Amino acid sequence: MKMPDDYQVPDEPDAGRMDAAYLRSCLGLRAKPGEEPPPLPPAVRQAHYKMARCLSVLGELGRSMTPTQIATVAVLSDVEPQEPEPPEYSFLSESPEDGQKVVIHWRMKDRPAHFLSITPEGRVLVLHNGSEVKIRPDLVRHPEPGEFPDCADNINQTVEV
Hey, what amino acid is at 149?
A: P
Q: For residues 44 and 13, what is the distance between their CA atoms, to the nearest angstrom?
A: 19
Q: For residues 88 and 108, what is the distance between their CA atoms, to the nearest angstrom?
A: 23
pTM score? 0.48
Domains, in order of start, for the chain: 13-76 (no CATH), 86-161 (2.30.30.140)
Per-residue pLDDT, 88: 65
Q: Are 127 and 140 in contact (CB under 8 A)?
A: no
68-112 residue pLDDT tens: 777 777 777 777 766 666 666 667 777 788 999 999 998 889 999
